[in-house]
Structure 1
Amino acid sequence: MGPQIRRFVAAIVAIAFLAFYVWAVVAIRDRLPASMWIDLIFYGVAGIAWGVPLIPLLSWAEGRKK
């Protein structure tokens, strides 16, 4: 698979993943008690955690070996 196709596939997968991730974060947050501190911690962690699953995808898109 060529690099342009690989990047295109990775972009589509990343967009689909992020759409699902945002939906999941909002759905999980609805189940937590209302508190400013819970919001601060939850959204802080959720705002950082989305990048972790995308690292292998982006490495694959660039053709890097592990």
Structure 2
Amino acid sequence: MNIDPRHYHQPSWRKPVGMLAIVALIALWAVLVASLSGLIGTLPVWLQTPLYVVLGIVWIWVLPLRRLLAWMETGRWRRS
């Protein structure tokens, strides 16, 4: 098997570091949301459900996940 050097890509250290950072961010966000569960639990169920859905989705925009993914891929914090 001959590897063409033009198509060989050296793995980046950013991907494993970024994956660990993503796992840490998910854990921190889960702890934050869980700490709010006592307050959210006092709300009616019809209000709890959309609130948990929003809290589950919003961390992609609130936390630096998009920029972290861009950094993992390009080495820059913003995609050009």
Larger radius of gyration: 2
The percentage of aligned residue pairs carrying the same residue is 26
Higher relative contact order (CA 8 A, sep 6+): 1
Question: Do the aligned partners of 2:18 and 2:69 also contact (CA within 8 Å) in 1?
Answer: yes
Misfit runs of 4+, over 6 Å: none
Match of 2:71 among 51, 57, 60: 60
Number of aligned positions between the proteins = 65
TM-score norm. by structure 2 comes to 0.69
Q: Which runs of 5+ in 2 are unaligned?
A: 1-9
Equivalent residue number for residue 47 of structure 2: 38
Q: Which runs of 5+ in 1 are unaligned?
A: none
TM-score norm. by structure 1 comes to 0.81
**C-alpha displacement of 1:29:** 2.2
Match of 1:5 among 8, 13, 17: 13
- SS of structure 2 residue aligned to 1:59: helix
